[in-house]
Amino acid sequence: MFSKACEYGIKAAIFIALKSYQGERVSLKDIAAKIDSPEAFTAKILQKLAKNDIVDSIKGAAGGFEIEKHKIASIQLAKIVDAIDGDSIYIGCGLGLNKCSEDHPCPVHHKFASVREELKKMLESTNLEELALGIKSGASYLKT
Amino acid sequence: MFSKACEYGIKAAIFIALKSYQGERVSLKDIAAKIDSPEAFTAKILQKLAKNDIVDSIKGAAGGFEIEKHKIASIQLAKIVDAIDGDSIYIGCGLGLNKCSEDHPCPVHHKFASVREELKKMLESTNLEELALGIKSGASYLKT
DNA sequence: CTTAAACAGGACAAAATTGTCCGAATTAAT
DNA sequence: ATTAATTCGGACAATTTTGTCCTGTTTAAG
């Protein structure tokens, strides 16, 4: 469904949000360990998230990643997915047709529409705060 | 959402169904041209569909691919997807956790459940016959 | 000022996916 | 029998995705 990069990005963002919520800044090393991802690859993804204003990166000793507390609740899953995988998940044709629209649909166009719509709604209505709280409360997990 | 291989596989199956419905057998060359796919790559995919008993392949001159008429309506999209991409789309975790279940869910487990369920229902309730008829009637297209 | 901890980013490497080529086997038609 | 049309399948190649490494830069702390 999502690329590995996107999976790591979502998990990293959730972990950073969780820690930022508690006033802590986290290092790449920490993140990779807690979400069980390859460190250097995760670094690249965090750069993307930083460039898309989803996380703040602070250089130097005692540096790391954080998200401003007041922003956590306003960052939707959709924003993260879009930053990493782009919008193909919303707009692309399910069968890869170059031109696939209402008046030139692929065979599964209408069948897919509702699934895609549901996915879109889900991504747009889910924010980092609730996901971080799920981890904090032990209701959900970031690895294994 | 689906791999390229799966996209080609679905389109190929629809085209073969359409022609079989009209009593015609089709060649690889024909298929690739009509669904706008790379010929040799499509050949590999058709082999998979044949091994999974979704299409019949007939060797030799005047050979080609076909689907027994009476089977067309009973072949669900899900069967094709499963033959090519496997079942990861149904059972895999949205965030790539090795172990993701009701009592050890990833952060988006429950949010994803409904989307995945909708996708599954869609794939299981859509069969080749209706897709082929959509092409036949001009209601949908296999390329561009 | 020096050092150590951290991120940035370019170059590289590995793996997976996508795609190509070609010889072998099969079969219908002549 | 020979030929031509066709699929099969193995080996290979290109591309994309995933992942690693190393050097440089920034910054806090001693």
For chain B, the structural domain boundaries read: 4-136
State the pLDDT at residue B141: 98
Q: How does pLDDT run across B105-144, given as a tens digit for each residue?
A: 999 999 999 999 999 999 999 999 999 999 999 999 999 9
State the pLDDT at residue A49: 98
Q: How confident is the model at residue A80 (pLDDT cuts 50, 70, 90)?
A: very high
**Mean pLDDT of the region A23-50:** 98
Q: Measuring CA to CA, which residue among A7, A1, A144 is closest to residue A84? A: A7
- Positive or negative torsion for Cα B101, B103, B105, B111: positive
Q: Do A144 and B99 touch (CB under 8 A)?
A: yes
Q: How does pLDDT run across A51-60, given as a tens digit for each residue?
A: 999 999 999 9
C1' nearest to CA of A96: which nucleotide?
C18
**Mean pLDDT of the region B68-74:** 98
Q: How confident is the model at residue A62 (pLDDT cuts 50, 70, 90)?
A: very high
Q: How confident is the model at residue B53 (pLDDT cuts 50, 70, 90)?
A: very high
Which one of 3.40.50.620, 3.30.750.24, 3.40.50.1980, 1.10.10.10 gives the CATH number of domain B4-136? 1.10.10.10
**Mean pLDDT of the region B25-52:** 98
What is the C-alpha separation between A14 and B107, in angstroms, rounded? Answer: 9
Q: Measuring CA to CA, which residue among B67, B43, B44 is closest to residue B55? A: B67
State the pLDDT at residue A103: 96
State the pLDDT at residue A6: 98
Contact B113, B34 (CB under 8 A): no
Q: How confident is the model at residue B36 (pLDDT cuts 50, 70, 90)?
A: very high
Q: How confident is the model at residue B26 (pLDDT cuts 50, 70, 90)?
A: very high
State the pLDDT at residue A132: 98
Bases in strand D with any atom closer than 7 Å to a protein CB: 4-10, 17-22, 25-29
Out of B1, B95, B114, name the one closest to residue A10 (CB): B95
State the pLDDT at residue B115: 96
Q: Which CATH architecture has domain A4-85+127-136?
A: Orthogonal Bundle (1.10)
What is the C-alpha separation between B39 and B46, in angstroms, rounded? Answer: 10
A window 32-71: Cβ near strand C (< 7 A)? 40, 43-44, 46-47, 50, 57-65
Residue A19 CA to D22 C1' — how many Å? 30
**Mean pLDDT of the region B67-89:** 97
Q: What share of chain B has pLDDT > 90, as a percent?
A: 99
State the pLDDT at residue B73: 98
Cβ burial of A64 (10 Å; 0-12, 13-18, 19+) is buried
DSSP summary character for residue B26: B
Q: How far is B102 from chain A (nearest CA, A)?
A: 9
Cβ burial of B130 (10 Å; 0-12, 13-18, 19+) is middle
